[in-house]
Chain A
């Protein structure tokens, strides 16, 4: 019977698929915030250690971890459509390809000869 009544706002929202819009809860945001703060402390602490070649590796690994957390949760990619996920991955892939090609050029021409 209810479908013959005047539709309420909720009915309209559901008919248009708004229920598919995933709302990330504040709890997850708080957890991610804490993780990001801890990671920041860790990366600053690690930067004062003498680790040779591993210093930049650790700094970048922590930065990538933080960026991944931000992209997946703050930017909702974990809850997004496949189209969005594919778009993000395509961007990262393109970026790494361009860096790789540029570095391949420099390494194969005059690396160490400056």
Chain B
């Protein structure tokens, strides 16, 4: 019994060896098994990312409850227009990425290169808008640990140039002191998100280069698909950042 099954198995492996596609690694039985295993591994990586960002979100949740009035005042320093625009840019980039996966699956080389290039450009647009927002914070001395001035909150008129542009209302000292906590979390969370975007854009550049050579349009879609998972994950993080940092205190 064991002998015959070994022989049978050996024969089938030999048969498969002759016909399997070049991208099938030898420790997998089939391309399907390989794709499933890679997909599973990618999701495990994303779970560690959820835990990582989850810690930041929990910190935000607790500090927001502790210093609620300061967080409301500080969140009004953010411009909903830029936040909304960035959300739209990122959602569109997720769509172009999803279309890229489809092009890869249906073996459309030109379509894939176009979709990846659009995703790349939209990613850069996001970072450009983020730069506009960050530079405003630097101008207003709202960057903790680098460029932070309590006076800019308690007495906005002390800097006439900034005041004439933004007309901020002065805050009491005990409240102004805790805006620093908000901005620390703001820069930490959006900064980590932006870092993920920068890494993603780097990988996109590499993928565009490879896609032009036809790398992902001959049946092996795993790389494009798993990068898509990463890109959509980064999009989801922003969906929550946008709601929590920009929107939930806006009405007051």
A interface residues (Cβ-Cβ under 8 A, vs B):
7, 9, 12-13, 15-18, 20-21, 23-26, 29-30, 32-33, 36-37, 40, 43-44, 47-51, 55-56, 59-60, 62-63, 66-67, 70-71, 73-76, 80-81, 83-84, 87-88, 90-92, 94-95, 98-99, 102-103, 106, 114
Contact = CB atoms under 8 A, between A and B. Distances in A.
Name A's interface SS. Answer: helix
B135 interface: no
A40 B232 CA distance: 16
B51 interface: yes
Contacts of A50: 251-252
A63 B228 contact: no
Interface string B29-65: 0111001100110011011001100100110011000
A72 B91 CA distance: 15
A90 B46 CA distance: 12
A71 B94 CA distance: 11
Given A94-B47, A103-B58, 11 more contacts: A16-B20, A29-B95, A36-B95, A43-B243, A49-B251, A55-B251, A84-B43, A87-B43, A90-B47, A99-B57, A114-B66
Nearest to A96: B54
Contact of A99 (B58, B95, B105, B248): B58
B20 A33 contact: no
Given A7-B19, A17-B32, A18-B32, A59 B248 contact: yes
B105 A21 contact: yes
Nearest to A21: B35
B21 interface: yes
B251 A24 contact: no
A58 B235 CA distance: 19
A1 B235 CA distance: 51
A47 B247 CA distance: 6
Contacts of A25: 102
B21 A12 contact: yes
27 contacts: A15-B19, A21-B105, A23-B105, A24-B102, A25-B102, A26-B99, A26-B102, A36-B91, A43-B247, A51-B251, A55-B247, A55-B248, A55-B251, A60-B243, A70-B232, A70-B239, A71-B236, A74-B95, A75-B228, A84-B39, A90-B47, A91-B47, A92-B50, A94-B47, A99-B58, A103-B61, A103-B62
A60 B239 CA distance: 9
Q: Which 6 A-B pairs have the closest CB atoms?
A: A17-B32, A47-B247, A91-B47, A56-B248, A63-B243, A47-B250
